[in-house]
Amino acid sequence: MINYVTAGESHGPQLTGILTGIPAGLTLDIAAINAGLAARQGGFGRGNRQQIEHDTVTVTGGLRHGVTLGSPIALTIQNRDHAHWHAIMNPTSPATADNTLRQVTRPRPGHADLVGGMKYGHRDLRNVLERSSARETAMRVAIGQICKQLLAQLGIDLVGYVQQIGQIQVDSQASLSVAELTQAIAQNDLRITDNAQVADIHDLITATKKAGDTLGGVIRVVATNVPAGLGSYTNWDTKLDGQLAAAVMGVNAMKGVEIGDGFAAAASYGSQVMDEIDWDAENGWSRLTNHLGGFEGGMTNGMPIIIKAAMKPIPTLYKPLQSVDIQTKAIQKASVERSDTTAIVPASIVVESVVAIELARAITATFDGSKLSRLQAMVQAYRAELQAY
C-alpha cells in the first residue's frame, strides 16, 4: 500500500521524500512532476521567495531508465534559498553567536510557533516555523504528481482549483469535465473557471497587500471515473471519505473540509440531498444527482468525488498582530517572516495532490499494487464485475 514521509526545513539544504507502494512498471514523466512544482510556485498574490526558488525534483531511488521498480522512490527538491541561510540553517555545525542570528521569540497568532515551542521545548521558535512552513508541501506536490500519473493509467482523472478568494465566489462549473476544468483554469493566474472575475480578484489581493493583511479562500477538487466500493463501511477508520478529509485537513492552513454539498446539506431536506439510484444496461449503476460527492457509507459510489476545503488567511501579516515575547514576556508585535498575501492558488495544487495520494493509496490497498499491468487488469475486471451486479 502507498505510504510516504517527507523531511526538511523551509530554509534547509533540501526537501526529501520517500514514497513506497508505487507499482513496478510505471513510466514516470519527470517533466510533468516539475510542471506541477512550477504551478505550485505560481499564482497571483505570491511573495518574493518564489522568485528565488525554481523547484525541480531529483529521483535518487526506485527508478531505473524512467520506469518504477516497485521499491521505495526517493525524491529530493533543493532549496535554492539555503545559500542565504547556510550558516543559520546548517544541519551539522555547532551553534555559535554568528549562526544563531534571526532567532524568533515573538510567535505569530494563528501559526504553529508558540504551541510548537511549548510542546518541544524550543526557545528559538525558528526551530518550529522552519518545519511547519508550507514549503514542505512542495514535496507533497511531487509525490502527488506521481500518484496522479498512476491514477491516470487506471483511467482516473482529477483536478483542484479555486472556487473562492476572500469574499469573492466563483462558479464551480459543476457540469464541466476534469479536462474542461483543467483547460479553463489554465487561462488565468488564479486557477478559477471564470476569466471575467480575474480583474476584481486581482484588485482585492492588491488592496489586501497594501493593507498588510492576508486572504484565504475555498478550494474544490473533482475526481472522475473512480470505481465504486473503495473504502469500507465496516469500521470507522476504513471509511475513505474520512481518510480524504484527514489528508486535506493535514495541508497547512486548512480549517474545514466538505464532501459534496457538505454543510449546505444540513439545511436541506433529505429528499433534496439523497442521490436517487439509476441503472442502464450500457453503463450499469449511477445516481441521478451527486449531492453526496461520490460517497455513501464511507465508500465511493462511482459518481465523481467532490471535495471542498476552506483555507484560512496566512498568519504572517506585514502589519503584525499582538504577541508576547517568550523570553521577556513583554507584549510586542508578532514576528514577520517573508510570506504571501494569499496562497490559495498553490494550495489548490497541494490539496489536489493529497487527494491523489489518498485515492492511489485506496486503490493499492484494494488490489495487488506490485505490478502496473496486473493492477490495471484487476481494476478493469473489478469495474466489469460491478457493472454486471
Residue 310 covered by a domain? yes
Q: Is 17 annotated as a binding residue?
A: no
So what's the pLDDT on residue 43? 93
Residue-wise pLDDT for 199-239, tens only, equals 999 999 999 999 999 999 999 999 999 999 999 999 999 99
156-192 burial, b at 16+ Cβ within 10 Å, e below that, comes to: bbbbbbbbbbbebebebbeebebeebbebbeebbbbb
Residue 39 covered by a domain? no
Query: 166 and 376 in contact (C-beta within 8 Å)?
Result: no
Q: Which of 43, 118, 33, 92 is nearest to 68 (CA)?
A: 33
Q: Is 335 annotated as a binding residue?
A: no
The mean pLDDT value for 321-326 works out to 96
Residue 172 covered by a domain? yes
The mean pLDDT value for 121-129 works out to 96
Tell me, what CATH number does 297's domain have? 3.60.150.10
What cell does 33 get? 512532476
Q: Which residue range(s) make up the domain with 108?
A: 91-387
Residue-wise pLDDT for 30-79, tens only, equals 999 999 999 999 999 887 655 666 899 999 999 999 999 999 999 999 99
Residues in contact with 52: Cβ distance below 8 Å, sequence separation at least 6, in sequence order = 80, 81
So what's the pLDDT on residue 36? 97
- Burial of residue 359 (CB within 10 Å: 0-12, 13-18, 19+) is buried
User: What percent of the chain lies above the pLDDT cut of 90?
Assistant: 91
Residue-wise pLDDT for 179-202, tens only, equals 999 999 999 999 999 999 999 999
What cell does 22 get? 508505487
Helices and strands (DSSP H and E) totals, the chain: 11, 17
Q: Is 46 annotated as a binding residue?
A: yes
**Average pLDDT value over all residues in the chain:** 95
Residue 354 has pLDDT above 70, yes or no: yes
Q: Is 313 annotated as a binding residue?
A: yes
Q: Is 253 annotated as a binding residue?
A: yes
Query: 279 and 285 in contact (C-beta within 8 Å)?
Result: yes
Q: Is 252 annotated as a binding residue?
A: yes
Residue 34 covered by a domain? no
Helices 344-366 and 137-153, packing angle to 10 deg: 50
Residue-wise pLDDT for 246-300, tens only, equals 999 999 999 999 999 999 999 999 999 999 999 999 889 999 999 999 999 999 9
Q: Is 40 annotated as a binding residue?
A: yes
CA–CA distance, 92 with 376 (Å, rounded to integer):
46
In this structure, the strands spanning 217-224 and 277-280 are unpaired
Q: Is 95 annotated as a binding residue?
A: no
- pLDDT-based confidence at residue 99 (cuts at 50, 70, 90): confident
So what's the pLDDT on residue 100? 79
Residue 23 covered by a domain? no
Q: Is 297 annotated as a binding residue?
A: yes
Domain count, the chain: 1
In order of 150, 312, 387, the CA distances from 381 in angstroms are: 18, 43, 10
So what's the pLDDT on residue 161? 98
Q: Is 131 annotated as a binding residue?
A: yes
Q: Is 320 annotated as a binding residue?
A: no
Local structure of residue 71 (DSSP, 8 states): S
Residue 176 covered by a domain? yes
Q: Is 315 annotated as a binding residue?
A: yes
So what's the pLDDT on residue 339? 79
Q: What is the dihedral of CA 181, 187, 192, 197, to 10 degrees?
A: -130
Residue 44 covered by a domain? no
Residue 188 covered by a domain? yes
